[in-house]
Homo-oligomer: A and B are copies of this chain.
Amino acid sequence: MATPTPTRPRRRGHDPESVLATAVGVFNERGYDGTSMEDLARALGVTKSAIYYHVPGKEQLLSRALDRALDGLFEMVADERACSGAAIERLEWVVRQSVRLLIDRLPYVTLLLRVRGNSGTEQAALARRREFDRFISGLVTEAAVEGSIRADVDPGLVTRLLFGSVNSITEWYQPARGASADDLADALLKMTFGGLRVDPAA
């Protein structure tokens, strides 16, 4: 082996990974369409053209970022704990993992949740996201059939409201100041499953 270190840091500079990380940050601040390559260049401390040395273009950056979020979601639903056992327990596990993933890959998931389908890249991402949503909706339906969650509200609606809460995390969570992923998941499950009201008999 001629190279002493497998990844030789020969020269100081950027790489596709660091460009992506910075880009996603700026995309989330300004919005994808509101971000120019000039904005990205400024954030990276290089000129516009330097970006094209590392990545093929703006839309590829979006595509890679969205995949990073979506891959996480699908790894989750492929897990055994999402597929076997009581539906209510699977649902709780998936919600907890969703919160974890959301915080773990916050900028990537944030970007995903703002996609509107303006390009082929965005439409493909939306399609994968809908597939994930269908899985969750199935879980909620099973839990209702099972009798472990209330059946007087449509399962589709329950799914949307539940993940409305979960997904809202991207809009206000601050890694520095906020609670840990597990604390947040605890609070969220307490609220959504247990309800807000103190006296359930009222």
Q: Report which A residues bind B (CB closer than 8 A).
A: 29-31, 33-34, 88, 114, 116, 118, 147-154, 157-158, 160-169, 171-172, 184, 187-188, 190-200
Contact = CB atoms under 8 A, between A and B. Distances in A.
Contact of A30 (B34, B116, B164): B116
Given A152-B190, A200-B194, A118 B31 contact: yes
Q: Taking chain A's interface residues, is the majority helix, strand, or loop, or is none over half, making it mixed?
A: helix
A36 to B, nearest CB: 10
Nearest to A151: B198
Contacts of A160: 168, 171-172
A184 B172 CA distance: 25
A29 B116 contact: yes
Nearest to A115: B31
Contact of A195 (B147, B167, B192): B192
A200 B199 CA distance: 10
A186 to B, nearest CB: 9
A198 B150 contact: yes
A28 B159 CA distance: 23
Nearest to A163: B168
Contact of A164 (B33, B167, B200): B167
Contacts of A147: 198
